[in-house]
Amino acid sequence: MPIGVQDFENLIKNRFVYVDKTAYVYSLVQGHVYFLSRPRRFGKSLFLSTLKQYFLGNKDIFKGHAIEKLEEENPTAFDGVAWAKHPVIYIDLNSEKYENSDSLNFALNRSLELAEHELGVETNEKTLSGRFIQLIRKAVAKTGRQAVVLVDEYDKPLLQTIDNRALFDDYRATLKAFYGVLKSEDASLRFSMLTGVTKFSQVSVWSDLNNLRDISLSEEFAGICGITTWYRACLSDKIEAFLS
């Protein structure tokens, strides 16, 4: 069982038990900008990792899963070809302990540096939002395809400083400018998704991104993370058959 495994490629290649969520991936990528709220340890990071592998065009990892047939028979309308490869920018705010004014800048810079390294581009902007914009534009110019932005636990810096008003306001201002890039660079983005525990209305994402779709309470995507009773029953039958 994949306890603590949050990387889709690792999960598949090491033959862990996987509940196929790739039909949800296919459904989501028909759209553009999404937000998903779920509690901690509920599978949000794994799902974002699955999206990343899809947009990297790593079709071999998806062999035997629902999306393999869906993508081959009817490629996503935006791309017109199956398994189109896009530059992916993954912003991970989950692994930092937000204790001082430098913590958020460090986390954002680390994610941007990793993306620059993976995409093979360099940026020279001084501000975080300026660097983010330049990264997106250079990635698009280099690959000829729109970029994909995935933000894991967008709200963790705010949740951890909610009792520290000064630091909370500092983080909120930083994130307002940073997430505002998703609106200003909309034409350069193929797909964006943010995940988190809650919705902070004071952060500009919700006012600026008027095309953002919140699927947190959508019945259509109710099973996007975790294992439901139906899935548990299916797994029990498979495990029993395997042991016998």
Stretch 75-88: mean pLDDT: 84
Q: In what order do the strands lie in the sheet with 189-196?
A: 88-92, 147-152, 189-196, 33-37, 213-214
Alpha carbon distance, N-terminus to C-terminus of the chain:
18
Please check the confidence at residue 66 and state whether its pLDDT lies above 80. Answer: yes
Q: What is the mean pLDDT of residues 178-186?
A: 92
pTM to 2 decimals? Answer: 0.88
Residue found under tokens 């509690």: 39
Mean pLDDT of 91-107: 91
How far apart, in whole angstroms, are the C-alpha atoms of residue 157 and residue 168? Answer: 8
Q: 144 Cβ partners below 8 Å, 6+ apart?
A: none
> In angstroms, rounded to a whole number, what is the distance separating the alpha carbons of residues 105 and 90?
16
Highest mean pLDDT among 4-13, 38-47, 52-61: 52-61
Give CB contacts under 8 A, 24+ apart, made by 112-117. 114/90, 115/88, 115/89, 115/90, 115/139
**Hey, which bits of the chain come out as E strands?**
33-37, 88-92, 147-152, 189-196, 213-214
> Residues 190-214: what's their mean pLDDT?
78
Give the range among 39-48, 133-142, 201-210 with minimum mean pLDDT: 201-210
Q: So what's the pLDDT on residue 5?
A: 72
Residue 211 to residue 194: CA distance in whole angstroms? 13
